[in-house]
Homo-oligomer: A and B are copies of this chain.
Amino acid sequence: MTSRNQNLPEPAVGNTFSSAVFPLETMDVPGGTETVLRGGRHLFPLLPTAFAGVRSIGVIGWGPQGRAQARNLRDSLAGTGIRVTVGLRPGSASAADARAHGFTEADGTLGDWLDVTAASDLVILLIADAALAAHHERVFAALKPGATIGLSHGFLLGHLRSLGGGFPGHAVIAVCPKGMGDSVRRLYEQGAEVNGAGINSSFAVHADPDGHAVDRALAWSVALGSPYTFRTTLGSEYLSDIVGERAILLGAVHGLVETLYQHHRIAGADPVTAYERSCESITGPLARIISRDGLRAVRDGLDPAGRDAFDRAYTAAYRPARDLVAEIYDEVADGTELRSVILAEARLTARPMTRIGGSPMWAAGAEVRARRAGRGTAVDPVTAGMFVATMTAQIDEFAERGHPWSEIVNESVIEAVDSLLPYMHARDIAHMVDNCSRTARLGARRWGPRFQAAYQQIALPAADAPADPALVAAFTAHPVHEALSAAAKLRPSVDIAVG
């Protein structure tokens, strides 16, 4: 069997890098170390040096990432003379919102996407994946000599390789925040009070004709407010990003709560109780415990009966979850998943995507949220066991495929508990899935139901059986705990709740 994407780099990358500008640190990870840059506002004075040669940054697109990154970059670069301009496609519905946030045609910080591209030294492409797939050649053609292409995920690389094409001769760098645009902005703002607050980012240097790409990428990441920045490749980023959102970040968590909600309803629970034991338990206390104290703390915090239920649920869910993560990984690595997204995009005109927020469980969410004040939701041990098993399955699959530990813990744990789950807690999971990027929405719709069926048909019926001591021991002694603890030291503790 051969892969269609023969050229997709192996995820394994060298974890060390050097900077002519920023002071780097070494982070201990299982089996070795990784070089990282700890961020913070005290580094802002170094930005002009690191951005040497960049006088203008064009942010193309005003989706959640574009909106957050353009604002953070502008604020971080205030007074440096480096100008941040937003570029939008003609007739874009986002123009009014960009103006409301101070990017205006009048002062030259808002313009046509191709004009802004042509005028910028660093062009950060944050338009939708489908638009990028359709129009990247026009963008490439508009670049001025010496301009750097900036990406925030690896979709375009996957797309170009599926076409057998590549990037033009420009520098290509990526800075990939491990959280939603909304979190990238919200935690950046907290950085004014708590230096270093923000969303961690990976960076990749894909093409470096002038030798300054690493510092340019690090400067971009520092200006976004990343607590720490680690190195990856665009190929590794692509794999972990697309797999992660289909698995624990969106698809699996949606499938899990749908299954558990129905399970509790069938067992006689009223809708509010069933919602609390499934969705609320994950987005509330579980996310908080993992964010604050790591994965093992979930199990450690349970009483003996709860721990037994956790262990049985963990045992029952680990294998089917791991099977699905492996399947998703194969399909993403092979290009099959991206092909499906492109086929789906072609159908959307005739067949608009339906919402998944209509299922009965979401009706209970509003009531649960309304009565939150003054009462805490307990961790449901079965819910916790299945959720943690799925998270660990993704961690293990990424580790087996050779991803760097910073990428593993950020894409499997920190992005979930610091960015997505708090947002889901404020709205709900279906709302989140129905409102994220189309590539993520399509992926969550493809794989969420697979997780749902696996939990319902395989894991739940097996959760009555005794736990597997070997699986439980592997969890309690898992190297991820060390990696999470090392990552935790690099980010300040801030309030992650979404209002």
Contacts and interface: CB of A to CB of B under 8 A. Distances in A.
B262 A358 contact: no
Given A262-B262, A331-B340, A449-B450, A456 B359 contact: yes
Contact of A326 (B330, B347, B448, B453): B347
Contacts of A266: 262, 265-266, 360
Interface string A327-370: 10011001010011011101100010011101110000000000
A457 B356 contact: yes
Most buried by B among A266, A330, A358, A359: A266
A331 B359 contact: no
Given A266-B265, A336-B339, A358 B462 contact: yes
A393 to B, nearest CB: 12
A375 B354 CA distance: 41
Contacts of A258: 453, 456-457
A454 B449 CA distance: 9
A450 B461 contact: no
B346 A1 contact: yes
A285 interface: no
Contacts of A292: none
Contacts of A355: 458
Interface string A430-454: 0000000000000001101110111
Contacts of A63: none
A430 to B, nearest CB: 8
Contacts of A320: 354
A25 interface: no
Given A265-B266, A453-B449, A456-B258, A343 B356 contact: no
A266 B265 CA distance: 6
Interface residues of A, number: 43
Interface in A275-327: 319-320, 322-323, 326-327
A466 to B, nearest CB: 17
A402 to B, nearest CB: 17
A344 B323 CA distance: 10
A457 B359 contact: yes
A334 B326 contact: no
A453 B323 CA distance: 20
State the copy count for this chain: 2
Contact of A458 (B323, B356, B461): B356
A327 B344 contact: yes
A125 B326 CA distance: 32
Contacts of A331: 340, 343
Nearest to A134: B1
Most buried by B among A327, A356, A448: A327
Nearest to A340: B336
A262 B322 CA distance: 26
Contacts of A334: 339, 343
Interface in A131-161: none
Contacts of A346: 1, 330
Nearest to A352: B323
B453 A448 contact: yes
Contacts of A450: 445-446, 449-450
Contacts of A322: 351
A2 to B, nearest CB: 9
A356 B453 contact: yes
Interface in A144-201: none
Given A331-B343, A445-B450, A449-B453, 5 more contacts: A4-B339, A326-B347, A327-B347, A336-B340, A354-B458
Interface of A: 1, 4, 258, 262, 265-266, 319-320, 322-323, 326-327, 330-331, 334, 336, 339-340, 342-344, 346-347, 351, 354-356, 358-360, 445-446, 448-450, 452-454, 456-458, 461-462
* 10 A-B pairs closest in CB distance: A449-B453, A359-B457, A449-B449, A358-B461, A265-B266, A330-B343, A356-B457, A336-B339, A449-B450, A323-B351
24 contacts: A1-B342, A1-B346, A4-B339, A258-B457, A266-B360, A319-B354, A322-B351, A323-B347, A323-B354, A327-B343, A327-B344, A327-B347, A331-B343, A336-B336, A356-B453, A356-B457, A356-B458, A358-B461, A358-B462, A359-B456, A360-B461, A448-B453, A449-B449, A449-B450
